[in-house]
Structure 1
Amino acid sequence: MNILFLTLLDFDSLEERGIYTDLLREFVKDNHKVYIVSPTERRKKQPTRLIENGNCRILKLQIGNIQKTNIIEKGISTFFLESQFQRGVRKYFFNIKFNLVIYSTPPITLQKAIKDVKKRNNAKTYLLLKDIFPQNAVDLGMMRKNGIQGVLYKYFRAKEDELYQISDFIGCMSQANVDYILNHNKGLSRDIVEICPNTLEPRRMLYKDQKNEIIKKKYNIPINKTVFIYGGNLGKPQGIDFLIKCVDANKNNKQVHFVIVGAGTEFNKIKAYFDKEQPPNAQLFRQMSKYEYEVLEGLCDVGLIFLDRRFTIPNFPSRILSYMQASIPVLAATDCNTDVGKVIESGEFGFWCESGNVKEFNHRMDLLCDAELRERMGSKAREYLEEYYTARHSYEIIMKHFKKNV
């Protein structure tokens, strides 16, 4: 099969690690040919080019600046995305007959390119639904359904509906996602919506058995405390105010130590708290390389998940996979609509509480100061990952359709 994958992620090789590259390597392993459109923003000053490596070709498509720019430039760049992707596929892959097109949200604005390939090649289409937009923006107060902003909401809602309509199959991260999509999009057939979770190719964690003093000293991590790590995006969806409250409520707790690593729109807010309060048992690091972060993560005892309590859509953070790979239990503080807490507790590899409830968070945190409990839950986390969340697992979910339909 010839597979076309459309993404906004900027990567140059399938050897890079992530939920999409790990999945695409599974297609290559089974001798499928994979073609990828992975954009590079104009600020990098890299012209459009094609990278070829065996059964994989990556089109590095130059686009306008979308991240770390003003709202006007971002809006203009986003507007032209569809036509740029469409022209890029036509120009560089004009002689390829695609059997399957895979794409993910965000964004929801690549319909032109998808429809073009679908019509021209009679290709099947598979949406990896990772983001329910624009409702997530409404939940966080960044967009409204009424008034002047309502016009923008209706536009994006129409684009979302169109994306669902051109998708032959929609893979959702969890059962709560499946239920939400079906309940809020009455025209969708239940036959095309299924669970296709975030997955990765599990790696052996070299540092898990080497929690030695030398590496901990490098990062000034205490040896005799339970270390809780949060790694990932520090933005509005994570409800950073509650993360700060949890750190502040425990700044005199001699048993625990917090390590926070990441970047995002709310990084300066949490940095301002650290600069002012200087919590003695917490550290804040800017975003690290993947390797450096995994080394640090391997020294820690518990992984933290935070989501804003206002969400009505069921998010399922991919960050949880990294914790499970490191064989550490997970403590999640989220809204009540996601089922990530249900998965964690039914799998017996951590605890959940509602975001905003510091008392309940502290109670579960105290439970995880028990080394024996952590060891047991950490082992279950790795076992659960290998049973349900491997890249091979999601690959087989997708391929079960196309082995008979393509």
Structure 2
Amino acid sequence: MNVLFLSLAPIASLEDRGIYPDLLRIFVKNGHFVRIISVQPDRATYDDRREGYAVLHVQTPQMQKVGLLKKGIASLQIGPNIRRALDRHCRNERYDLILMATPPITLAGVVAYIKKRDGAKFYLLLKDIWPQGIADLGAISQSGPVYRYFRAKEKKLYALADQIGCMSPANVKYVLRHNPALEPQQVEVCPNSEEPDFWTVSPEEASAIRAKYGIPQGRKIFLYGGNLGRPQNIPFVIECLRAAVHVPDAFFVICGSGTEYGKLQTFVEAEKYSNLLLLSGLPRADYDKLVRSCHVGLLFLDHRFTIPNFPSRLLSYLQAGLPVIACTDPTTDIGDIAQAGGFGWKCPSDDPAAFVRTVERACSADLASMGDAGRMYFSAHYTAEQSYEIIMRGLER
């Protein structure tokens, strides 16, 4: 089977790790050819062919870590750019399956073209519900023309899908409730997943890594790693860090990048807290060592969200054996899943005092056994092989 994969995620090689390279490797291992479309800002389009797969790097405007207006405008340009690149570089290829991950939602034209030309099936990996997400954050009006335009694009994309894979049960319920034209059997859970990577660092290595970054020994290290943008509600994160400054056993590490990084940097430089370290984004290998030297992973989502986000950052925490604190809106089910699975806690993302109480609970918890429960949950639910099987079964239906 020939598979066309569409995504905004930059993929240079399937030797990379991540939710998309790991899944696509399973397709290649099972004998399928995979054509990957990888967008790259400000570089010319070129084709890179490998054994079992090929990557078409398509020149597009910058969409990652930019403001919402620039992201919206750029998303309108991506579809035509991809179609032109396919016609030029892949004119002799035909596809049996289209895999696409949102965002964006504006590639319906490309999907419709390939479906009609090749008779391909289309499996949509729904990683972002747009434009409702930006409306929740107040970036656009839900009654305005911009929302209506992108909502029409979203409905068109859903109508093209033979199957829609959502990140969690709450996502499935949300999509069906707000899109009654879809059939229930058309929407299923196909979660974020990776190939298991359960390696650990020794106590001596963990101590050396903490010393490298100036992290004190003998404290419980709470790590947030990932995007630092509007969805994380950085002003609330700052409130939580202020409120937790007097928890004696806790030390906080914030590691990432994004449009709101400057707010955290200004706060850290002004307050100079002794229990807080801010790091800009690290290379994957360095980050993996850091996360395995910490004790608890943090997840933050703005309390205004009405869509059930499910951050993929959870996967790195679980594989490293870190329990998680999900400080989120009431819509997402990631905190409920963490509690039911025995690998974490949830608290509301509009109550700094509740965050502090949860941190204090974590400081006195059996973190090692909770970390083991997280690894077991990952193995049972979040492997790339399982996602591959879900997709293949969905197409058979």
State TM-score, norm by structure 1: 0.94
Q: Secondary structure at the match of 2:40?
A: strand
SS at match of 2:288: helix
Segment of structure 1 superposing worse, 97-106 or 246-255: 246-255
Q: Residue 343 of structure 1: which of 332, 337, 341 is its match?
A: 337
Contact in 2 for aligned 1:208/1:326 (Cα 8 Å): no
- Provide the secondary structure at the position in 2 that maps to 1:262: strand
Cα RMSD (Å): 1.6
Given the superposition, is the C-alpha separation of residues 210 and 400 from structure 1 closer, same or farther in structure 2, using an over 3 Å criterion? farther
Give the length in aligned residue pairs: 397
Residue 58 of structure 2 aligns with an amino acid whose one-letter code is L
Q: Distance in 2 between matches of 1:69 and 1:345?
A: 34
Q: Secondary structure at the match of 2:287?
A: helix
| Shift in alpha-carbon separation, 1:295–1:55, aligned structure 2, 3 A | same
Which amino acid counterpart does residue 222 of structure 1 have in structure 2?
P
Aligned positions of 1:187-336 closer than 5 A: 187-207=181-201, 210-336=204-330
- 8 Å CA contact 1:329–1:349 kept in 2: the answer is yes
Kept after mapping to 2: 8 A contact 1:310/1:335: yes
Is the 8 Å Cα contact of residues 89 and 113 (structure 1) preserved in structure 2?
Answer: no
Per-residue CA deviations over 1:221-268 (Å, capped at 9, x if unaligned) read 111111000000111111212211111112232211000001111111
Q: Does 1:113 align with 2:110?
A: yes
Letter in 1 for 2:182: L
Matched, 1:166 2:160: yes
The one-letter amino acid paired with 2:35 is Y
Does the residue aligned with 1:228 lie in a helix, a strand or coil? strand
Describe the SS at the equivalent of 2:299.
strand
Residues 305 and 49 of structure 1, relative CA distance in 2, 3 Å threshold: same
**1:329·1:378 contact (CA, 8 Å) conserved in 2?**
yes
Secondary structure of the corresponding residue to residue 221 of structure 2:
strand
Q: Which amino acid aligns with 2:32?
A: H
Please state if 1:11 is matched with 2:11.
Answer: yes
Q: Tell me whether 208-217 or 294-303 shows the greater mean CA deviation.
A: 208-217
Instruction: Give the TM-score taking structure 2 as reference length.
Output: 0.96
Return the letter of the residue paired with 1:213: S
Deviations along 1:55-91, one digit per CA (max 9) or x if unpaired, are 0100011123334667776555432211111122222
Once the two structures are TM-superposed, the CA of residue 386 in structure 1 deviates from its matched residue by 0.9
The corresponding residue for 1:33 is 33
Q: What displacement does 1:218 show?
A: 0.5
Mapping for residues 59-208 of structure 1, pairs under 5 Å: 59-67=56-64, 76-146=73-143, 150-207=144-201
Kindly tell me: are residues 348 and 67 of structure 1, through their superposed partners in 2, closer, same or farther at Cα, counting changes over 3 Å?
closer
Q: Which amino acid aligns with 1:54?
A: E
Aligned-residue offset at 1:213: 2.6
Offset from partner CA, 1:380-406 (integer Å, 9 cap, x none) = 00110011000111110001133x47x
Any unmatched runs of 5+ in structure 1? none
Look up the SS of the partner of 2:134 in the other structure: helix
Change (3 A) 1:260 1:81: same
1:295 maps to amino acid: K
- Paired with 2:152 and 2:301, the residues of 1 have a C-alpha distance of 26
Instruction: Give the counterpart letter for 2:22 in structure 1.
Output: D
